[in-house]
Amino acid sequence: MLNQEACVNSLNFTVPRLGEAKITSPIKMSTKTGDNMANYVRDDEFILYNIDARPGSYTIEYTSQDLLEKAGPREKIFFSPGHVHAGIVTCGGLCPGLNNVIRALVRTLWYSYGIHRISGIRNGYRGFLPQYGIPVMPLDPDIVDDIHTKGGTILGSSRGGADVEAICDSIERMNLNMLFTIGGDGTQHGAFRIAEELERRNQKISIIGIPKTIDNDLSFIQKSFGFETAVSEAVAAVSSAHTEAHDAINGIGLVKVMGRESGFIAAHTALAINDVNFVLIPEIDFDLEGEKGLFAALKRRLELRHHAVILVAEGAGQRYMESEQQRDLSGNRILGDIGFFLKKAIRDYFEKQGMETSIKYIDPSYMIRSAPANPNDSIYCARLGTHAVHAAMSGRTKTLISMVNNTFVHLPIEIAINKRNTVDPEGPLWRDVIGATHQPMLFRND
């Protein structure tokens, strides 16, 4: 899923550290291979970022532009576990798996490192700000025991509130040694600025991000937690839309899914169910009117098969919206409702054509966001949380836990927030979507 457009020569995967790790880890593992015992991860273990290759082309010397540091427990750690006070915060919109990550963080801190001072910061970054008067939530294994079976987050969430100086003041007052920020692009922008300010104040506090973006649009993140659950839930919505469309006269099922700037959920949903005839995503502009526009293609489909299913990502077709470019508290552009717009526009088009249709519009977005994580996402969240604790204890900071080339790695936050990951219209994923839907390459008259 990685978008390889970024110029590799400008990348630097070097992970910042608070200092030298000198304390022996309380986790007992092996340093040998072949003894059938779990091993520590050494600091010289890396993977290649770019695994593309051509015959006759070889890289002899690797640099920080080529290598990503493997995540996992180290033999030597930076923090003394008995002195650690850890904080956990969830920010932004809801996403399947938030509780799973919180549970993994708490259990790893408690059982693996013996850290018993764990504070949950409630309602996002606002929980740090004194003017809101939001108390912290002490966390332990009993409190998080069964939260992974529920959707949402026990800590609550919110957008905005990233007053960096005030947050750092609160972190100092609380005597936090590490903070785990679970959130998307805006959250991790805030985390990076918090880490920068703490560094300016000469504070040795680890800031570790767990990337949460249901749209799967953070750069260098192979898979975001909650994405598989979102696709599974979207498939159910599309199945209902297909049934409604199939059993009506010239039935049209219209489903809107999440995807502000990236159409990954829409693309994967279309491939998962194979009942979708038209997929519209933010990365590819489309015309509605004209011989090669969406309406004409939809009319031909109805004349041939008498039903159709349209799957649209929320960020698609925004040029048709009367938007004032307003922003929400996280700085995201407030989108027009493309689903509602299309429902009305399609109905008006076929009324002018004198053609009877039956349109059913389904928007399952909030049902998807609040769903519990499915087993695959649950496993992934557990491993993300565990690796995040190992990273913090070893003294990493300004770091995200990511999966790249099917390996858990440390990724500098700065590089991940530099640009959004998007569907490549010329890449294999979209090529497969075109093959599955049989829709035209482009709905463009020019």
Which positions make up the binding site for substrate? 213-215, 258-260, 314, 366-369
Return the structure tokens found at 372: 């519990």
Q: Which of 44, 215, 287, 328 is catalytic?
A: 215
Residues 6+ apart with CB under 8 A from 277: 301, 308, 309, 310, 437, 438, 439
Active-site annotation holds for 215: yes
Annotation: binding site for Mg(2+) = 185
Buried b / exposed e along 75-95 (16+ C-beta atoms within 10 A)? bebbbebeebbbbbbbbbbbb
In angstroms, the CA 180 to CA 165 distance is 18
Partners of residue 256 on adjacent β-strands? 312
Q: How far apart are CA 80 and CA 19, in angstroms?
A: 13
Please enumerate, by residue number, every residue annotated as part of a binding site: 93, 159-160, 184-187, 213-215, 258-260, 314, 366-369
Task: Assess contact for 398 and 411: CB atoms under 8 A.
Answer: no
Among left, alpha and beta (phi > 0; psi -120 to 50; other), residue 358 is beta
Torsion, Cα of 57, 218, 147, 84 (10° steps): 80
Type and span of the H or E element at 100: helix 98-107
Residue in this structure with the two tokens 């900071």, named with its chain if needed:
397
Q: Which residues pair with 70 in a beta bridge?
A: 409
The residues carrying an active-site annotation are: 215
